[in-house]
Amino acid sequence: MDRIKTLCSYLDKCSTFADVACDHGYCARYMLENGMCENAVISDISDKCLAKAQNLLSDYVKRGKCRAVCCDGLERIDKDTEQILIAGIGGEELVRILKNSFIPKSFVFQPMKNAEHLRGYLLRSGCEITADDLFTDGKNYYFVIKGKNCGGAQAYTKAQLLYGRDSLKSPVFANYLKEEIEKKRGYLKRDMSAEHRERLEDDVSFMQGVLNGEID
């Protein structure tokens, strides 16, 4: 639950909130229980997945404070929803969802992998990223990207695009990067093509430069 608690700390008070790919619906419950939203929508891609959240939030559903919809991504989510959370899926899948529907007015995204693809898409689409951080539950590391679809442009360095603008300043990030460097060094001990080895060595060199503060 530490992951959910930390993730919820990035959410703002709003009138309408959607928890997309909601799993158990803990984030929607946080918003409703704490008066952080007036109404919530919970959605997931299958009825079986959605049933868990419906059960957790049954009282709010009965009172008309929460509505459950079964859909792929944002297909049945109102574009005027004030704040939308999508957590626990890959960055490339998140990009697919946004391309097939819309970028929310205000969003919190927690990609499980390929966060750089999501950052790049949001920046190219003119979104303002207000928080771009990394946290850990003690076992795993999670990137979180918060922002608004308001137009404009932000310049990111290669390191910021790969790891998150705010992550680079975090002590959590140093531990994350050390672990990633060790993983890649472990891979380098295996048999591989010269081309693959060169790419891995370049990756390690770049990551070490970021870790040492030589690359912003």
* Tens-digit pLDDT profile for residues 109-140: 999 999 999 999 999 999 999 999 999 999 99
Specify the pairing of strand 39-44 against strand 66-70.
parallel
So what's the pLDDT on residue 49? 87
Q: Which residue has the higher pLDDT, 152 or 62?
A: 62
So what's the pLDDT on residue 203? 96
User: Measuring CA to CA, how many Å separate 62 from each of 21, 55, 73, 88, 183?
Assistant: 21, 11, 24, 27, 49
pLDDT tens for residues 139-176? 999 999 999 999 878 899 999 999 999 999 998 999 99
So what's the pLDDT on residue 152? 76
Distance CA 204, CA 201 (A): 5
Assess whether pLDDT exceeds 80 at residue 1. no
Distance CA 23, CA 101 (A): 21
Distance CA 5, CA 40 (A): 18
Average pLDDT over residues 34-41: 98
